[in-house]
């Protein structure tokens, strides 16, 4: 069942979204060669708690940290560690969430570590652009399939692949609510979009094949062929006045 939110609930989600977005800005500003993923995770946790919110990821399904931090061919769900040191040329995906007054924000970014390859820069850019292609389809009366078709269309046009195994989702009082929001699909198909829907759109894009595998740690997901992967996610709300991107606090990020 889809939990539609009224305007008071969407106002509460704006706060959760803003805190989540600010935590990611702070994380971005820490990214440089020599920093561990543990240090970034700790800073995110402290910031969210300082805001009076709860790190949504901490303990979720047993996850041991406040952010998923995934490097290069790791797609999602990387576990922060004192042993994971960022190095020049890496790309790092940081995915986090904050729960504030009972509502969740969920957002991710891919950040270059120092100077990265032209391929890595293009991948990050295409992944981000594919998110906004999807958002263009978020209109009352459109369908879930319109979002995925737009995302996948841009990805494929750039010679990349969209991960199919993991998808976006409704978000609200829970981090994962109905409906699923795949990053692929058929235009005109699927659940109809209506005012009050709050969803996380989160393209995961690979340079190589779409296949992924989970590591024995039970969390980390990597590309099966070892190719680079990028991720971009925001929590958005569809209202009668249009779309609000709740977790984006800086225009170009």
What residues does 170 pair with on adjacent strands?
A: 177, 199
> What is the rounded distance in angstroms from the CA atom of residue 176 to the CA atom of residue 172?
8
Nearer Cβ to Mg ion (108/149):
108
Provide, rounded to whole angstroms, the least separation between the CB of residue 117 and Mg ion: 25
Q: Copy the structure tokens of residue 190.
A: 């699927």
Q: Is the peptide bond before 179 cis (omega within 30 degrees of 0)?
A: yes
Provide, rounded to whole angstroms, the least separation between the CB of residue 202 and Mg ion: 5
Provide, rounded to whole angstroms, the least separation between the CB of residue 20 and Mg ion: 9
Nearer Cβ to Mg ion (15/177):
177
- Alpha-carbon dihedral of residues 62, 66, 71, 75, nearest 10 degrees? 50
Provide, rounded to whole angstroms, the least separation between the CB of residue 138 and Mg ion: 16
> What is the rounded distance in angstroms from the CA atom of residue 156 to the CA atom of residue 249?
29
Q: Are 212 and 224 in contact, with CB atoms under 8 Å apart?
A: yes
Nearer Cβ to Mg ion (196/203):
203
Q: Counting Cβ atoms within 10 Å, is residue 115 exposed (0-12), middle (13-18) or buried (19+)?
A: exposed
What residues does 54 pair with on adjacent strands?
A: 99
Provide, rounded to whole angstroms, the least separation between the CB of residue 33 and Mg ion: 25
Nearer Cβ to Mg ion (107/117):
107
Provide, rounded to whole angstroms, the least separation between the CB of residue 200 and Mg ion: 4
> What is the rounded distance in angstroms from the CA atom of residue 76 to the CA atom of residue 71?
9
Nearer Cβ to Mg ion (145/168):
168
Nearer Cβ to Mg ion (33/59):
59
How many residues are listed for the chain in this entry? 253
Which residue in this structure is represented by tokens 């998808």? 167
Footprint of Mg ion on this chain (CB under 5 A)?
95, 106, 108, 200, 202, 233
């Amino acid at each position: 069942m889809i939990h539609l939110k009224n305007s008071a609930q969407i106002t509460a989600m704006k706060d959760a979204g803003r805190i989540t977005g600010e935590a990611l800005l702070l994380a971005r500003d820490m990214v440089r060669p020599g920093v561990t993923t543990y240090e970034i995770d700790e800073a995110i946790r402290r910031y969210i708690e300082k805001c009076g919110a709860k790190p949504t990821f901490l303990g979720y399904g047993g996850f041991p940290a406040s952010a998923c931090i995934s490097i290069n061919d790791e797609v999602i769900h990387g576990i922060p560690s004192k042993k994971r040191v960022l190095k020049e040329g890496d790309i790092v995906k940081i995915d986090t969430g904050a729960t504030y007054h009972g509502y969740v924000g969920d957002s991710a970014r891919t950040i270059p570590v120092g100077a990265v390859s032209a391929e890595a820069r293009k991948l990050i850019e295409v992944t981000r652009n594919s998110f906004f292609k999807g958002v263009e389809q978020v209109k009352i009366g459109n369908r879930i399939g319109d979002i995925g078709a737009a995302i996948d269309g841009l990805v494929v046009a750039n010679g990349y692949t969209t991960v199919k195994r993991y998808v976006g989702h409704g978000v609200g009082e829970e981090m994962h609510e109905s409906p699923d929001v795949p990053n692929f699909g058929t235009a005109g198909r699927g659940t109809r979009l209506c005012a009050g829907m709050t969803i996380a759109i989160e393209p995961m894009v690979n340079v190589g094949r779409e296949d992924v595998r989970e590591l024995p740690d039970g969390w980390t997901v990597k590309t099966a062929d070892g190719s680079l992967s990028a991720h971009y996610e925001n929590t958005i709300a569809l209202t009668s006045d249009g779309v609000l991107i709740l977790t984006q606090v800086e225009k170009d990020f």
